[in-house]
Structure 1
Amino acid sequence: MKAVVFHDVGDIRLEDVPDPRIEQPTDAIVRLTASAICGTDLHFIRGTFAGMKEGTILGHEGVGIVEEVGHDVRNIAVGDRVVIPSTIACGYCSYCRAGYYAQCDNANPNGAAAGTAFYGGPPQSGPFNGLQAEKARIPFAHVNLVKLPEEVSDDQAILLSDIFPTGYFGADLADIKPGHTVAVFGCGPVGQFAIASAKLMDAGRVIAIDNLPDRLAMAKQQGAEVINFDEDDPVQTIKDLTGGIGVDSAIDAVGVDAEHPHSGPAAAQAQSQQQDFKQVQQQVAPKQQPSGDNWHPGEAPTQAQQWAVQSLAKAGTLAIIGVYPPSDTSFPIGVAMNKNLTIRMGNCNHRKYIPRLVELIRSGAFDPRSIVTQHQPLDSVIEAYKAFDTRQQGWLKVELRP
């Protein structure tokens, strides 16, 4: 089968690889009908999340048809149409039973202390081969496959695999109450769903921060008040818009590959982030540094954190759903502590949220399809990755069709 294979930082290839097979009685084999490119994939290719193993199939978003099931998979049948949660869980440990599927004790073969298991990641996440392929092996299929109703299309379902649940998770962590004012830092795909989820939770106002016109335009279409950080200082503007108070909740939907302002009043202050960037890059071996015209890491890895903490009102809540590597030790703890902030963060417990979001779409209460701006065949995946990496106009979310 064809699959997108990681070879080194800055080096991914579409290759022929062996078909997956049943390895455990709880496995299933799924033929992918849709996959997608995510910003997390770029962290691996850019080298801002180090340690990827050569030969790993990338991708953690998928929709497909079940082709084979192991003996102990008793709720899924061959022919079922399913969405695949991005993080992997056993379904029976104490964490899974409490809804913390991303902290499953059993899914990660490296042990409970190794952290979240997910598809297409580095060794500490499994490693499990990813979903940017024609077929995939799904472990613990009884919990890691969710059957889809006919009313939910592939274009809708692919957004349920990761980014819609992650955006909803961020809004949930942010403890949004009806009438709250919420700031969302980053208007990429996850940020767009954080905006939508804040609206679903009856936020009174949502303020969205980015510097790309197409992303800001989409946020504005959703009803958000937008700030271009290349034109306005986002912290001061948020204070101005809130009578000097700040926001009740803030969501960091960016992570380690944040950019600093290239112009405007916030640009000079952001130059201090360069030192943080160098510290992160020191965690990556020299041979792993990307080169060429693509695979650009962000220039200010703590920028979104800094702005979010500064923008919050006293006793506000910060939700961090942007990805940061284990090597990152930077956080503005002093300011956060002295403002009595509540900070909640982590990898999304996808399996917790997907069933309710499936029903939201099936009932017609919400349609997520506008977030998908590109549909590309798997054969064009390398060019699609490059366009997504450089944030070209109109390349917000890329769906792949095998």
Structure 2
Amino acid sequence: MKALTWHAKRDVRVESVPDPRIEEPTDAIIRVTSTAICGSDLHLYELLGPFLDRGDILGHETMGEVVEVGSGVRALNVGDRVVVPFNISCGTCWFCTHGLQSQCETTQVREYGSGAALFGYTKLYGQVPGGQAEFLRVPLADYNHIRIDDDLPDERWLFLSDILPTAWQGVEYAQTPPDGTVAVLGLGPVGQFVARIARSRGHRVLAVDPVPERREMAARHGIDVFDLGDDTVAELRDLTHGRGPDSVIDAVGLEAHGSPGIKAVQQAVGMLPDALAKPMLSHAGVDRLAALHAAVDLVRRGGTISLSGVYAGDADILPMKTMFDKQISLRMGQCNVKRWIDELVPLVQAPDDPLGVMDLVTHHAPLDEAPDLYGVFQRKDDGCIKVVLHPDRSDIPRT
């Protein structure tokens, strides 16, 4: 089959690789019909190479059709149409039954002290082949699927794999009061959904991003948008009676703009041999914290910061005096995808598309276009906000 494989920093390639096969009775194989490039994939493209091997298959936002099931699979049949959650969980352990599927005891990657295994996401999370490919092996398939029983287009359902439940969890964790105001930092794909979900709940939403096309998209959905500037925090505080918003959702994460010194450190570590870079990233890694520091500065006293953007540094320095003094609550974590699906499915299926899932993708393309589109997405060229690849269709034009 063809698959998108990692080879080095900013070097991903579509290559022929062996087809996946049933390895355990609980596995299923799906033919991938749609798979997206996620903002988290860009961390692999840029920073986390020491935890990847040449030829690793990337991708964790995937859906398609079941083509084979193991002898132990009971909930799926050949021909079923499914979305595959990005985290791999069992559904029966203590964490899964308590809605913490991202901490699944069955698939935890204990070698690295990490939570549940993820598709296409480095040794830190199990080095499981990802879904930017023509076929995908799904472990523990009875639990790790969301069955689609209608004929709505893939685009309507695909984002249940990651970014839609990630945004939902971010809003849940923000604990914004019913009549409250939430600020959203970053209007990439997750930030777009965060803003729409918060607004659908009746919150006032103030969203910040330096990219005009991202602000324009959010504004179409009734979001109050702001450019990123030196006075943005003061401007938003002035709009909230001088106190700051009740909650701030950081949808940016570890590669935030405005941290040139840390960016240089990250780049320097990335140039080291893997044997040296791995322990530095594991134990002394630092993130670009401009977005998180802005959230601490902005949120009102007694408010909540929710982190939807990925952070990976174990040596980050936080303004603990300010956080303690302001009595800030901080919530974060990998999304527990299956926990939120029952609430999200009716919204995705609703004819009026209340969360605007059909207004997010800016680029459709065949799988062969993936290497170029990684660069386009990273650079935010051509108004790129979200890329969906179609491995089963070589004839689809890039749009």
SS for the counterpart of 1:386 is: helix
Cα pair 1:283 1:327 within 8 Å, conserved: no
Cα pair 1:27 1:137 within 8 Å, conserved: yes
Cα distance in 1 for residues equivalent to 2:49 and 2:202:
35
Question: Equivalences for 1:68-83 in 2 at 5 Å?
Answer: 68-83=68-83
Cα pair 1:116 1:347 within 8 Å, conserved: no
Question: Equivalences for 1:153-172 in 2 at 5 Å?
Answer: 153-172=153-172
TM-score (normalizing by structure 2) = 0.90
| 1:228 alignment partner in structure 2 | 227
Cα distance in 1 for residues equivalent to 2:124 and 2:85:
18
| 2:235 alignment partner in structure 1 | 237
Cα distance in 2 for residues equivalent to 1:158 and 1:55:
25
In structure 2, the CA distance between the partners of 1:68 and 1:354, relative to structure 1 (3 Å rule), is same
The residue type paired with residue 137 of structure 1 is R
Q: CA deviation at 1:241?
A: 1.1
| 1:382 alignment partner in structure 2 | 371
| 1:264 alignment partner in structure 2 | none
In structure 2, the CA distance between the partners of 1:109 and 1:334, relative to structure 1 (3 Å rule), is closer
In structure 2, the CA distance between the partners of 1:48 and 1:96, relative to structure 1 (3 Å rule), is same
Cα pair 1:375 1:399 within 8 Å, conserved: yes
Cα distance in 1 for residues equivalent to 2:181 and 2:49:
32
TM-score (normalizing by structure 1) = 0.90
Cα pair 1:186 1:208 within 8 Å, conserved: yes
Identify unmatched segments of 5+ residues in structure 1.
Answer: 261-272, 289-298
Q: CA deviation at 1:7?
A: 1.3
Q: CA deviation at 1:328?
A: 4.7
2:295 aligned with 1:308: yes
Cα distance in 1 for residues equivalent to 2:239 and 2:68:
55
| 2:361 alignment partner in structure 1 | 372
- Of residues 106-115 and 18-27 in structure 1, the stretch that sits farther from structure 2 once superposed is 106-115
Q: Of the candidates 244, 247, 255, which is equivalent to residue 246 of structure 1?
A: 244
In structure 2, the CA distance between the partners of 1:226 and 1:363, relative to structure 1 (3 Å rule), is closer
Cα pair 1:49 1:325 within 8 Å, conserved: no
Cα pair 2:287 2:312 within 8 Å, conserved: no
In structure 2, the CA distance between the partners of 1:109 and 1:247, relative to structure 1 (3 Å rule), is closer
Cα pair 1:108 1:116 within 8 Å, conserved: yes
Question: Equivalences for 1:51-200 in 2 at 5 Å?
Answer: 51-108=51-108, 110=110, 113-200=113-200
Q: CA deviation at 1:394?
A: 2.0
Q: CA deviation at 1:48?
A: 5.1
The residue type paired with residue 223 of structure 1 is G
Q: CA deviation at 1:247?
A: 0.4
Identity among equivalent pairs (%)? 39
The residue type paired with residue 127 of structure 1 is Q
Q: CA deviation at 1:300?
A: 7.9
| 1:267 alignment partner in structure 2 | none
Question: Equivalences for 1:278-297 in 2 at 5 Å?
Answer: 278-286=264-272
Q: CA deviation at 1:127?
A: 1.1
In structure 2, the CA distance between the partners of 1:286 and 1:186, relative to structure 1 (3 Å rule), is same
1:202-231: CA deviation from partner (whole Å, max 9, x where unpaired): 21x10001100000111111212111014x
SS for the counterpart of 1:343 is: strand
Cα distance in 2 for residues equivalent to 1:250 and 1:48:
27
Aligned length: 378
The residue type paired with residue 220 of structure 2 is Q
Q: Of the candidates 355, 371, 395, which is equivalent to residue 384 of structure 2?
A: 395
SS for the counterpart of 1:215 is: helix
